Amino acid sequence: MNRRMIIALWLMLMIAAGYGGGMYLEHTSVWSGDTELVRDFSIRSQPLPPPESPQRSESTAQTVGFRELQDHSVMFRYTNGPNDLFHLAETLGGGVAAVDFDLDTQVDLLFVDGGNPVEVDLPGRSNIYCYRNERQHSFEEAAETAGLNWSGYGHGCSVCDFNEDGFPDVLITGFYGCQLYANQGDGTFTKFGDLDTLAGNRWCATAAWSDLDGDGDQDVYITCYTDTPAQRPTQICEVSGRRIHCNPRQSNGVADILLENLGNGYFKDQSAQSGIADFSEYGLGVTMADFDADGRTEIFVANDGDRNLLFHQTAGLKYEECAIPSGLAYNGEGETMGSMGIACADFNSDNRLDLLTTNFINERNVLFSNYGHLSFVDNSRGTATDYSSRSQVGWAAVPLDANLDGLTDLFVANGHVSDIPSQEYQQAPILLEGTPDGLSLAEPAGGYFTKKWHGRGACRADLNNDGRSDLVVSHIDTPASLLINDTATEHQFLKIRLIGTRSSRAAESILIKIETADATRTILYGTHGGYLSSHSDWLIAGLGKADSVRRIQVFWPDDRTQELRGVAAGSTIWIVEQLGAYQQTD
């Protein structure tokens, strides 16, 4: 071997070593960063306990209970495709939106269906299902009369008010297609605008709305998954001789979409100019909030099998990606996760918004605790969040205060992507109860939690207007479940709806602080469901045993704070920016 060949070989080895070292450093930098935070904040991690030792709540709070509603006329079930197709699109399932589309004070429900991912736009088929709430747990199918007709292969349904007229609009996202529907104010919708064209021929999953540029209307971020083609035959993958859905890594990741609302019903694609398009990471879940209290809204994206992303706004619609230095890119071991759903809430009662991601089997769900200044730590190893999820594939994660004690509880929908030997295909959901010491596995909370499902999208809403958060869950090949919160509790609540005037009317991503004699709680207002879904725009805050609220603070954009004092427990109030509060009277 001559000298030139030796030098060339040496250079190639050095380059390979540098690349490998760089990848190692990138994937372990979060772990090292967590170690520094453990040192600086005196956090002590615990060794991973065996999964056979579930920690159940020992708190004195009332047992959380949900009753699966029967004979409710909501017969929707998500159909994901022929049994012999094994197309990747079949794995994601569909979402559900809780939206009072006819403004009669009753929460209606909207589901999106799939069908066949290689035979879309079939004549006569609509994949949007809408159910009008007729009170007393009765629903009436209303998609046809409401004008909601779309034949694409659907996944997500996102509620917004893109034209600021006070009537909730709906964005449908799916496999190579999106459609925006404008609410006409008379209980009907029409297809509107150019959003579907701007989204292009991309596989769109979850959408989240917020006024990102501060101009008084809602912009939208849409996660995009892979470039898997809509065609037969699909790739063949097997486990122990049994065919399964292939890993998404068989296809390329696709860049997400950021669309600026121009205020005239149309949108401008800002994906490239904002810096969003520089990343193609298999996006599924998304949420938006001001995590560092600097008055600007960050965007957090959960990616499947790749690092998660956190976009911090620098100026206008310009962003820098900072998930690695923030501690959100990987779990505490420096590993990527198969992240699907997101729950954003204050899980440890320190008045900062934490982030939870649901992940693939054998990975565990991860709760990132917020320590301020965009610094997060995975503190969930060895906790109920960890070992309740290691044998599950998690999807929608819904934060709520089910027993109104002022502590955040968590619901997670589970279900495998394929029927794999030695792993459960249908899986039981998870309900974790908030306690002063963190999330704990709740006692059996009703028959629904003793069964196994192919759970996917889920949302929270007060379906019967009793001041308690109910749950709606979409399943693959099984009818959706309506879970009525029957928790027996003496705790009090406050029901809040925000309406912006100077800001966007929908008031997405606004922080609210509620102060009682016992505690101060920070709650994120908005409909972001984290995975393919939208929550009701009525916020239910548990007050514990407090009979009144000393102070409510609403943190509007541009550092404007609105305060209310002396609000009675059990009140249902509208807080209107600049104008004050209005209480519902019977």
303's tokens: 């990616």
Which range has the worst mean pLDDT, 272-286, 440-454, 461-475? 440-454
Bigger pLDDT: 216 or 72?
216
Average pLDDT over residues 146-161: 96
User: In whole angstroms, what is the distance from residue 525 CA to residue 138 CA?
Assistant: 28
Amino acid (one-letter) located at 34? D
Residue tagged 């209107």 (tokens)? 576
Using pLDDT thresholds of 50, 70 and 90, give the confidence band for residue 444.
low
**209 touches 289 (CB < 8 A):** no
Whole-prediction pTM: 0.90
Cα–Cα dist 339/223, whole Å = 13
> In the prediction, which pLDDT does 60 show?
43
> Among residues 487, 297, 295, 290, which one has the least CA distance to residue 370?
290
Query: Is a pLDDT exceeding 70 seen at residue 55?
Result: no
∠ CA 412-415-420, nearest 5°, is 150
Task: Provide DSSP, 406-464.
Answer: SS-EEEEEE--SS--TTS-SSB--EEEEEETTEEEEPPP-SGGGGS-B-EEEEEEE-TT
For residue range 78-128, list pLDDT tens digits in order.
Answer: 999 998 999 999 999 999 999 999 999 999 999 999 999 998 766 667 999
In the structure, what pLDDT confidence band is assigned to residue 43 with cuts at 50, 70 and 90?
A: very low
Q: For the chain, which domains are there?
A: 66-492 (2.130.10.10), 493-583 (2.60.40)
Q: Mind listing the pLDDT tens digit for each residue in 304-323?
A: 999 999 999 999 999 999 99
pLDDT of residue 281: 93
Mean pLDDT of the chain: 89
Q: Is the pLDDT of residue 52 over 60?
A: no
Confidence (pLDDT) at 584 = 79
Q: DSSP label at 374?
A: T
Alpha carbon 402 to chain centroid, angstroms: 18
Average pLDDT over residues 375-379: 97
146 band by pLDDT with thresholds 50, 70 and 90: very high
Please tell me the distance from the alpha carbon of residue 106 to that of residue 97, in angstroms, as a whole number. 13
